[in-house]
């Protein structure tokens, strides 16, 4: 059984701003996506990495692969208009067995620990589909201008990545979604919609996604202390 990391990196990072998408901006002289790719390069459980990106950045990604010796980065595929399109392009480009594992991880989550990645892969081998999450800790409520109701935080989680699935499951779920013109916010939504159970694996607050400028500044500071 192989484990293949899929990194959707086709986004333009409009909420972040800047001349280039956030995943290619530098922190301490190193592109953000390089920090993320390094996690999977170092993992003994990962056999291959596939990145879905805009073709304009293929040259840069190849340069990073050479510079940082990302020997597991085997292919670059065209990123799509939406995240789901990028993941589908990557999945359909892979030659994999039905039982192989596909670990989808955001390009802008550069602080995934080796321990969480290893545990998620271990759980995926047993349960077929897993989602890394953190449990909500604050009071949660619904409303607009005024509070209308409260949610039980013991039943609420914040989804993270990686999200890991058997190849046959994620491919079928993506194909079903496109057949019905359905777009989800992440892969676990598509897999659940297709009728598969997804096991929850505990994540970490450090495994946050860099979306805004303050997120970027926080990561920049953490790089100096971690």
The three-class DSSP label of residue 9 is strand
Helices (H), the chain: 32-42, 58-68, 83-93, 114-127, 167-179, 187-193, 213-223
Query: Who contacts 49 (Cβ-Cβ below 8 Å, separation ≥6)?
Result: 4, 5, 7, 37, 40, 41, 70, 72, 73, 74
> pLDDT tens-digit profile of 34-53?
999 999 999 999 999 999 99
Q: DSSP secondary-structure letter at 28?
A: T
User: Which helix (DSSP H) or strand (DSSP E) does residue 30 occupy?
Assistant: strand 30-31
CA separation for the pair 138, 153 (Å, rounded): 7
| Sign of the alpha-carbon torsion through 209, 212, 215, 216 | positive
Q: 130: which residues sit within 8 A by CB, 6+ positions away?
A: 120, 123, 124, 163, 164, 165, 198, 199, 200, 201
Please tell me the predicted confidence (pLDDT) of residue 201.
Answer: 98
Q: Kind of pairing, strands 129-135 and 48-53?
A: unpaired
Write down the pLDDT at residue 200. Answer: 97
pLDDT in tens, 58-68: 999 999 999 99
Q: Residue 224's pLDDT is what?
A: 72
Instruction: Say if CB 128 and CB 100 are below 8 A apart.
Output: no
The pLDDT, as a whole number, for residue 16 is: 57
Residue 20 pLDDT: 86
CATH topology assigned to domain 3-223 = Spore Coat Polysaccharide Biosynthesis Protein SpsA; Chain A (3.90.550)
Intervals of the chain under pLDDT 50: none
Q: CA 1 to CA 24: how far, in whole Å?
A: 32
Instruction: Output the pLDDT for position 226.
Output: 64
* Structural domain spans, the chain: 3-223
- The pLDDT score that the predictor gives to residue 90 is 97
């Amino acid at each position: 059984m192989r484990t293949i990391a899929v990194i959707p990196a086709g986004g333009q990072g409009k909420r972040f701003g800047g001349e280039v998408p956030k995943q290619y901006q530098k922190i301490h002289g190193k592109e953000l996506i390089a920090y993320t790719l390094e996690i999977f390069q170092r993992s003994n459980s990962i056999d291959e990495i596939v990145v879905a990106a805009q073709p304009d950045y293929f040259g840069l990604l190849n340069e990073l692969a050479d510079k940082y010796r990302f020997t597991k980065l085997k292919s670059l595929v065209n990123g799509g208009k939406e995240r789901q399109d990028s993941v589908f392009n990557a999945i359909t480009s892979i030659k994999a067995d039905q039982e192989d594992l596909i670990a989808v991880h955001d390009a802008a989550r550069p602080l995934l620990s080796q321990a969480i990645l290893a545990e998620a892969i271990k759980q995926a081998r047993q349960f077929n589909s897993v989602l890394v999450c953190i449990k909500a800790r604050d009071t949660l409520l619904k409303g607009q201008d005024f509070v209308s109701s409260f949610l039980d935080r013991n039943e609420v989680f914040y989804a993270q990545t990686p999200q890991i699935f058997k190849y046959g499951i994620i491919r079928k779920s993506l194909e079903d979604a496109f057949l019905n013109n359905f777009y989800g916010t992440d892969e676990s939504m598509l897999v659940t919609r297709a009728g598969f159970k997804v096991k929850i694996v505990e994540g970490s607050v450090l495994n946050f996604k860099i979306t805004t400028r303050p997120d970027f500044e926080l990561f920049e500071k953490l790089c100096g202390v971690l």
